[in-house]
Each structure stands twice: as C-alpha cells, then as structure tokens.
Chains A and B, each alone.
Chain A
Amino acid sequence: MEHDVGHSVEMGYSIWLVLFPLIGLIVNGLLARRWPEKLVGWFGSLMIVGSFAIAVALFLQLSGLDPHDRVVHVSFFNWLHVGSLQLDFAFLIDPLSSVMMLVVTGISAIIHIYSIGYMHGDPRFRAFFSYLNLFVFFMLLLVLGNNYPIMFIGWEGVGLASYLLIGFWWEDMAKATAGMKAFIVNRIGDFGMLIAMFLMFKYLGSLNFADVFPRAAGVWGHSPDAGPVIAIGLMLLLGAVGKSAQFPLYVWLPDAMAGPTPVSALIHAATMVTAGVYMIARSAMFFTLAPTAMLIVALVGGFTALYAATIGIKQFDIKKVLAYSTVSQLGYMVMACGVAAFGSGIFHLMTHAFFKALLFLGSGAVIHTMHGAMHHVNDHTTDPQDIRNMGGLRKYAPVTFWTFLIATLAISGIPGFSGFFSKDEILAFSFAHGMQGGTLIPWIFGLVAAAITAFYMFRLVYLTFYGEYKGPEGGEPGLKESPPVMTVPLIVLAVLSVVGGYVGLPAVLGERLNVFKQWLDPVFHPAYEAARIHPAHPTISQEWALIGLSVIAALIGIVIAWNLYIRRGKVGLPDSAQRGFGRVLWAKYYVDEFYHAVFVRPLIGLCRIAWRFFDEKIVDGGLVHGSAKTVRWGGGVLRQLQNGIVGSYAVMLVIGVILVLLIVYF
C-alpha cells in the first residue's frame, strides 16, 4: 500500500457520513421530546438516507480515480499524538471501505423506513430510532477509520448499540439477559482485538493502516509464519469469532433475536456481525504473512458454516432458523478470507446483506401477520414465531411470500440469484486453494453446508407459506398483508437480492465481467505481494464442474425438503417428541448447556467460595445480618471484633507479609 497520506483528492465532506446519524441521534435522543411519532421516524430515516447519498457521491468520486490512486486518507484533526503513537481522527476511503459504507448506509436506510411501520405505537419509539442512529454512527466509524483504535471504538460502539437494542423490550428478564450475554461474549472477542493491537504496537510501532501493513511486510515478509504475526493473526481472528459469531463464540447471536426484528435484520444479519469479516479482510496482510493463522481461519469458517447449518434443520422459531443460517453464512465469509479470497468474502458479505435483511424483514412481516390472526381471536398464548403454527400464509400475504421466496432462492444458491454468484465464487476459490497445496476440508464443509442450507430454507418456506393454516382456530380473517411502509422495503431488497450478484459474474463467463473483483483487488494486492502468493484460480473446466456440483447440492436439499414437507405433508414434531440425533440438533448440540456447566457454573461456584470464605464468614461475619444479631451488638462489638474478625484480618495480613518476604528472599 502506498504511503499517500494527505492525498490531494477533496473528500472532506465524508465527515457528513457520520455527522448525519449523529445529528439524528442528538435530535431524536434529546430534542424531539414532543415530536409526533411519524416525524421522529422520518427524521431519523432521512438522516440515514443523507448518509447514503454521501456514500454514493464518495463512491462515484472514487471510481473516477485511477485504480492506483484509490486510497484516500481524509484527516480531520490530530487525535492522539503521544510519544511514538501518532493517530489522526481520519477516514480511509478505498474500494473496500466504499463497498462497506454503501452496504451499511443502504441497508440501514431501508430498515429505518421499515421500522417506522414495524415499531408503530411502541411507547419508546423515539429511543428506538436514536439507538438505531447510534448504531449507524459507530458502524460507519468502524468501516471508515484509518487506524485500529478508531476501528475499535466503532467495534465497541456497535456492540453497545446492539446491547441496547437486543434488550430493547426490557420488561422481560430473558431479553435483558440475552443483551448481556451478547455483550459479554463479545468482550471475549474484543479482548483478542486489544491484544492484537498491543502486539502490533510493540512490533510495528504504529496502529495506522498506512504504516502497519507496509511495516509488517517489511518485518515478516521474508520469514512467513513468524511467531508474533501468527499471534496477531489469531488474536484478530478471536475478535472476528466474537463479533461475527463463529464457532465457538456464536452462542450469543441466536439469543440476540430477542430484539425487535428490524434490529435482527440490520445489526444481527446485514451489518454488525459482518464487521469481523471486514476486519479480517482489512488486516489481510497479517493473514497472508501467517499461513498457519490463515489455515485456522479457513477451518473455523468452514466448520461454522456446516455446524450452524445442521442446527438450522431442527429449529422451529422462524427467527432462530434465520439466526443459525446467518451464523452459517458468516462462516462462508470467514472461510473465504481463510483461503485468501478476501474479495469473495466481501462479495458474499454484500449479497448476504441483501437477502438476509430481506429474510428477516420478511419474517417480521410474517410475525406481524400472525399477530393479526391472534388478535382476531384474542389468543395470547400461541407463539407467533413458531413455524408449526403457521402454514398457508401464501394466500394471505402474497408480497411477503414472493419476496421471501426470492431471498430463499438466493441463499440456496440457485443460478440467477445473487447468492449463487458469491457462494459459488467462495467454493471455487476454496477448491482451487485446496488443489494448490492447501486442504480441501473447507471446500467439503462448504459444499455439504450448501445442500443443508437449501434444505432448511425450503423447509422454512414450505412450513410457513404452503399447506394448511395451523394457527389459532378461526384466526384466518385476521391474517393480512403488512402495510406498504413494510412491503416496499421488502420489494426493494428483493430486487437487490436478484441483481446484486451480477456485479461479480463467474470467470467462466469472461474474466473482465467480474467488476466487483476488479474493484476490490487493488486493496488486497499488497498483502498477496508481501507473502508472494497468488490467489488460486480454478481452470475453466474445473469451474464449470464446480458450478454444476453446487447447483446439484442445492437441488438435492430442495428436493428432500419438498419430499418431506409437501409430498408427505410433515409439519414438525412438538418439542417433547424430539428423539435421537434430531433431538441433539433441536437442542443445538447442547452447547449452551455445556458452556453453562463448564464456564458459568464454576465461575459462580468460585464466586460463592470467595464470597463464603472471604466475605460472608470474615467480612460479613461481624456485620449486622438481621435483627437477632443486631441485639447482640450493644455489648458484643468489641468481643466480636477481638475474637476473630479483626484478628483474622490481621492474621491474613501477616500471611501476606510473610509471602512477600518469602518471594523476595528466594
């Protein structure tokens, strides 16, 4: 990467990208107390549309430049200048960040508008929109920052926004705990990020992207797989594993579905969870320089893709199915980075943002429709998110059905839809990477996962939209299509889910046609050059075969689903009737239980021991614990203090003294 800080291109207006959401946050959060709901919603959305417009302008300006000049650092002020740490508050605008900002602002704008309808009548409507704006603000900092600390601030900030939004309906303790779980699991990942930053600073003396990568190439370029660079790579991976919900830290994401559906769509599907993928792609240099770390990335990603897909087979909550599918698709993206196909990972990130946002918003519309039926018969016990209660909704909500189907075809990898192009590209590269001396395991994982994905997605569609209505009896008249403010975003996303893939046509149709790849490639070139590796390309015949294979895999999945749920008309067993391996899948491999037993319980136990022995017995022992002891206080204070309490303090103090002296002595 050239060292062209202070490029002459005028992009100072890019600050408005983050200023718009900030204004939205401040106005909606503090000033708009008396504004009507509509105004709050449209104002918040308008700010994001403004950001989107800026993003488009930046993109156009960037594409007008020579490909070699497409790295623009826009510095706004000196932020931290202490000792050797020289950081500006600055944006890095290059092809990678331009893709990210377009996706983030575009999807956010659509979901903001959708939320006006979805959150209608919520007593904390205003707070919801300020949190959403807060999220967009931090997300843009994350993708635009030109150094790791700014990225990290965005990284933590989106975590905070996600925490606030998951627990948005706080009244319920379960939802509040889901928020906390997400935050704390993410902290484990953040810890990796921090350590990686410390190591970078120690070995490379800077945290600016513009300095760190060339220096890393200089230091480790001739000795790949050096200890420090592997450590940095693995620590960064840990950060991505937390934020992008990879195995084994994915557990927070399914629980995060407790938040309102637009939040699931925006934060927990389209944007925030992909931050880990973006971060890996941005740090490509550290991974190409550490093949070992990269192999682990590929394995983690591939395994997650397969693993989460299998869980998706047996879930009955419509949002849980989509949640596991998100985990699985994120696995694909991480896997792509692990086979040095960073561009393909980002490509899949973009198409996934379209179709997964669409799926979530569609599921929101379905839940909305189900609520209609339940209201109609005054039913408050049926779970409106359980697909066993749905069925036949095709008739009542046609727009929702058709858009949902398009997204399903896209995620299943059916040719012609966006998901096909990106997923196929990932599989092709991982195959080629395997043939070039790597391992084929990720590719096999990915291929099997593709079949399973097609299966559980069509299972979802069949159970929800086909067959007979199975909800509360007599509720049919209440089933209605959602209002236009919700369906129009669905249609927009459906269009994107189809055409979004055509920017990256497979190489077999012509090398020049993959516009997306050409756009992104300059970003990753330095990383490839430093490690002297050439991303593997499959041959033409191989690629045709691979396309055929993945289409067949998808079709197998669809046919099995059709066979089970349409031809044989199965509807899914109740929870208690789950048996055998199906039950293991239904219980998500008991991982939550495992974590609880292995990490949470011992920690609580440790606390209890610490509490019992050091606090309750010794500290609290002399304290007033209810009335019985209070009575004894008058005369007993001194006796209690002398017989044990302060005495034991003193004894422990002396033990401490002896320990210190012993350590010194030896």
Chain B
Amino acid sequence: MFDSLIADMHVSRLIPEIFVIGLALVAILVDVVLPRGRSTRGVQITVLIGLFAVIAATVLGKENTGEAFGGMVVVDGFTFFFRLLLAIITFLVVLVSEHYIERLNIRIAEYYLLLLFSLFGMLLMAMAQDLLIVFLGIETMSVSLYALVGLSRQKHTSNEGAIKYFLLGAFTTAIFVYGIALMFGVVGSTNINDIVTFLSGLGDSMPLLAWAGAGLILIGFGFKAALVPFHWWSPDAYEGAPTTITAFMSTAPKAAAFAAFLRVFYIAFGEMWGEWTVVLWWIAVLTMTFGNLLALRQDSVKRMLAFSSITHAGYLVIALLTFDRIGAAAMLFYLVVYALMNLGAFLIAIAVNRDESEEKGYWFDDYKGLVFRKPALALAMLVFMLALAGIPPTAGFFGKYYIFASAVNAGFVGLAVIGVLNSAVSVYYYLRLVVYMFLRDREAREREGPLWITDEITNVVFLCLVLVLLVGLFPDALLTFATNSVKMLL
C-alpha cells in the first residue's frame, strides 16, 4: 500500500542530509559516553570524520539527481553546489574551533552539535522546493544559531546579541509564515512549481494577496541574509558571538539564505520578477551603502568585518536581481569567494586578538606593527583585505567583476556604478587595517602581547590564502562550476 509512497521518497538522494542527522546522534552519544574533560575533543573528531563522510557522500551521489519526498525537495546541480560549500565551511569552522572554545571557557560539546543542526537546516534550505520546507530549514538553522551566538555566557555582548537575534528572528519568522499563508491562500499549495504554474496562468490579473505574500517572504529572506533595512540584528549578533561562530554566520547561513532566496524567487515568483527588481534595487543600494558607512568608523576589527559583511550581501543582491544565468552564476561564485576571504580574515582576527575575556576587543590598535612581529600573518591579512576590497589579482576582484558585469549586461548600469563606487569606498577601511599593520610606535610596542596562533588556524588560513590567490589567477574552473550549477534553474 505504501510502496509507491516509499518509491516516491527517493531516500537515497538525501544521503548527505541523513548523514548529518545521524552524525549529530552519534556525536551526542560520544559526548555522553566519554568522560567530561575529553568529550569535546572526541565530539570534534567524530564531527570532522562525519563531515568528511558527508562531503564524500555528496560527491559520490552527484549523479543521483531528481526530486525527493514527493517533490518537497529537489537534488540538482544547484543543491550539489551548496551542499559542498556549506559542508566545507562547517568542516573548516569545526576544525579551528576546539582550541578557541577552550580559550573562551565554553568547552561544551553542544557547540559542535548546534553547528551540525544548523548545517542540516541550511542543507534543507538549499534543496527545498516547498515553502514549508524552506521555513523548516530556516528555523532549524536559526534556532541553533540563536544558541550559538549566546554561547559565551560570561559576556554581556554575547547574551545581548543572542536575545536580540532571537526576538527579532521570531518576529520575522511570523512575517515569513504569514507570507507563506497568504501564498497558500492564493494558490492552494506551497510547492514552488505549483505556485509558478498557477501564477503564470493568471497573466496580468495577479491578485494583490499574491504580491503581499511574496513581499513578506522576501522580507523573511532579507532578514536571514541581513539586508538593509532588515539587518538590525546582525552587528550585535556578529559582535557578541564567539568569533568562529561569527565567521560561520557571516558565510554559511548567508549562502543558504541566498540559495533559498534564489530558488524560490527565480522559480516561484519569476512571473512577478519585473516588480521585484525595483524593491531589490533599493535594497541593494541601501545595503551596500549602509554597511559601508558604518564600517568606515569602527575601531574594532570584528565589528568592521561585521558591517562589511552587510555590504557584501548588498553586492550579492545585485547579482540576484539580474534574473539571468550570468547573474546567478556570479552570485554563486561570489558566495564561495566571500566565504574564503571572510573566513581567512576572521581567523587572523582571532589570532591577533589579545584578550578574549574583554567585552569587546579586536581593536585596530592591536594590529600595529604586525608586519614586524609576524610578517607571514600580516601578509595573509593584506591579501584578504585586498580580496575583500576587490583588488586583483585576488579572487575578490573577479567576484565583484562578474557581479557588476552581470548587472551591466542585464541593463542595470546605474546599479553597477553605485556598486563600484561603494567598493571604492570600502577600500578605505580595509586598507586602514593594512596601514595599522605597518605602523609601530612606542605605545604599540607596549601593547604587544603574544599572538594566539594554533596549527589549525595556520592551516586553514593558509588554505584560504592559497585558494583566494588561485581563484584570483584562474577563476575559470570555479566560474564554470557555478555556471553549470545554475543551468537547471533558468
């Protein structure tokens, strides 16, 4: 009786996701079984091995594409791209975390478990073909992130960030669900394929309810991707969170949010796209400009990077609103590049920060004379800053280049101009950090403490550095991959 149902589930297509959940269960058991002192290390190693298996399963199952669970989710090239990206980011973050959470005095295995749960949520978002699954993914991801942000319990900034993120997140969740409900009211289904079939049948007489529903869904995505004016939570949450989590949050969940955003809007609301570009145009301009203006005046590197990550989300919106394959590919390309350079920059920020028990920390002043104390590290930071500013021959240049080129190609010349101008402004605060690294006065010498560099940080920074330069010199492979990944969408 249920044979057809089981056959329709195509469980084998979801092996990576099942692995993640299975891994979480195993990790819980490992945590429970091992004695208190050694459990986090054990969990970390379990998670690393497990994530490796997840990545392997993703790669091996590359050809096994199609819908699963009766069309609720779909496994295609796009899913494959994000599975890899998200799993690898999580892997790298887990890799560098063990010593860092020890330093923060939050050595609890839940740290890794929460990361796994949020990874699961993000994977759902990337593959969802039904608004309810998108919602489920967003919530699974967010609830874990709320807890992760507040993990440094001794710090007020951490508590504050978590509470703000949670309250506003809950608020936006309501808006998002309301949007889904309105959409359901119009269409009678939450499946994005049904939605597009229904809406394209309507022609010009699109009911206002559908507009409102799509608008509210857009706001939900905007919140998760920290787009102005829905970004209010992000500076506080980014600053309060343990820095590894900040690095994670500014890369992976952002990528997942854009993945779901792209799939839902390109497919389900493709009919209404012309109007959405107006909204997104303004959102892009505001997001870029706002993030830049605030980043200009920061004296904390962590906060500067937090604001600059808002700006980068603005660039991604530009790619999104082109509504063509070139733009979508540019967005995917940029997400990878952004993850690499941001991860690298945050890890170096961890290494340079003097005192983790300080409420704020991560001062620009700590970077004074870094070139003379640890030239290799300073050089790496220079490369990441240049990449973030979009200067060749780093990957950041091509990331921005493709985005702006796609915008001009799609006819958004004005937007590209504003984007390029913004990236020119951003050079100011990225290079300010570089200037600090070269300055060394007496006061700076007195402040100098030992750098906090672990082997894992060195390795991951080195990996990011090599990739940022390599992609900068030979962007071909990654761009081809990104282009192939968006083929089935448009």
Contacts and interface: CB of A to CB of B under 8 A. Distances in A.
A655 B230 CA distance: 10
Given A184-B428, A608-B297, A656-B230, A619 B236 contact: yes
Contacts of B428: 180, 184
Contact of B297 (A183, A607, A645, A657): A607
Given A171-B440, A199-B408, A653-B230, A82 B211 contact: no
A104 B294 CA distance: 42
Contact of A606 (B159, B233, B293, B421): B293
Interface string B367-407: 00000000000000000001000011100010001001101
Nearest to B155: A624
Interface string B449-490: 000000000000000000000000011100110010000000
Most A-side CB within 10 Å, residue of B229, B474, B475:
B229
A35 B475 CA distance: 36
B408 A201 contact: yes
Contacts of A171: 439-441
Contacts of A176: 435, 438-439
Contact of B420 (A194, A615, A618): A194
A615 B238 CA distance: 14
Nearest to A191: B420
A448 interface: no
A76 B336 CA distance: 27
A665 B222 CA distance: 19
A184 B427 contact: yes
A198 B215 CA distance: 31
A362 interface: no
A608 B293 CA distance: 9
A663 B278 contact: yes
Interface string A596-613: 000000010011101100
Interface string B203-243: 00000100110111011001100000110110110000000
B483 A82 contact: yes
A173 B297 CA distance: 18
Contacts of A160: 386, 391
Interface stretch (B78-86, B102-110, B160-168, B339-347): B160-168
Contacts of B360: 624
A510 interface: no
Dominant secondary structure of chain B at its interface with chain A: helix
Contacts of A197: 405
A201 to B, nearest CB: 6
A660 B219 contact: yes
Nearest to B386: A160
B3 interface: no
A5 to B, nearest CB: 19
Interface string A101-139: 000000000000000000000000000000000000000
Dominant secondary structure of chain A at its interface with chain B: helix
Given A608-B297, A622-B160, A195 B417 contact: yes
Given A157-B392, A184-B427, A650 B168 contact: yes
A623 B157 contact: yes
A622 B359 CA distance: 13
Interface in A638-666: 641, 645-646, 649-650, 652-653, 655-657, 659-661, 663-665
B359 A624 contact: yes
Interface string A149-181: 100110011011001000100110100110110
Interface string B285-312: 0000010011011000000000000000
A380 interface: no
A470 interface: no
A156 B479 CA distance: 22
A80 B215 CA distance: 38
A444 interface: no
B282 A663 contact: yes
A194 B219 contact: no
B81 to A, nearest CB: 15
Contacts of B160: 622-623, 637, 641
B229 A652 contact: yes
A198 B279 contact: no
Contacts, number: 174
Contacts of A179: 435
A614 interface: yes
A630 B164 CA distance: 18
Nearest to B159: A637
A611 B294 contact: yes
B439 A665 contact: no
B421 A191 contact: yes
B357 interface: no
A655 B229 contact: yes
Contacts of A590: none
B172 A653 contact: yes
Contacts of B229: 652-653, 655-656, 659
B171 interface: yes
Most B-side CB within 10 Å, residue of A83, A180, A623, A665:
A623
A576 interface: no
Given A180-B428, A198-B408, A665-B211, A153 B420 contact: no
A173 B443 CA distance: 14
A512 interface: no
Contacts of A157: 392-393
B232 A653 contact: yes
Contacts of B431: 163, 180, 183-184
A661 B483 CA distance: 33
A180 B435 contact: yes
A607 B426 CA distance: 13
A649 B391 contact: no
A8 interface: no
B181 interface: no
Contact of A201 (B208, B233, B409): B409
A79 interface: yes
A80 B219 contact: no
B175 interface: yes
A187 interface: yes
Contact of B275 (A195, A198, A619, A664): A664
Given A78-B476, A607-B293, A623-B157, A198 B171 contact: no
A525 interface: no
A187 B296 CA distance: 16
B432 interface: yes
A614 B228 CA distance: 12
Contacts of A655: 229
A198 B214 CA distance: 32
B218 A660 contact: yes
B114 interface: no
16 contacts: A81-B476, A153-B393, A183-B427, A183-B431, A187-B427, A190-B424, A195-B413, A610-B293, A633-B156, A637-B160, A641-B160, A646-B168, A649-B232, A653-B168, A653-B223, A655-B229
Interface of B: 156-157, 159-160, 163-164, 167-168, 171-172, 175, 208, 211-212, 214-216, 218-219, 222-223, 229-230, 232-233, 235-236, 275, 278-279, 282, 290, 293-294, 296-297, 326, 359-360, 386, 391-393, 397, 401, 404-405, 407-409, 413, 416-417, 420-421, 423-424, 427-428, 431-432, 435, 438-441, 474-476, 479-480, 483
In the A-B complex, list the 8 residue pairs whose CB atoms are closest, starting with the nearest: A656-B229, A198-B408, A170-B438, A187-B424, A649-B232, A153-B392, A610-B293, A191-B420
Given A167-B435, A615-B294, 9 more contacts: A83-B483, A149-B401, A152-B392, A183-B427, A194-B404, A198-B405, A607-B294, A619-B235, A645-B164
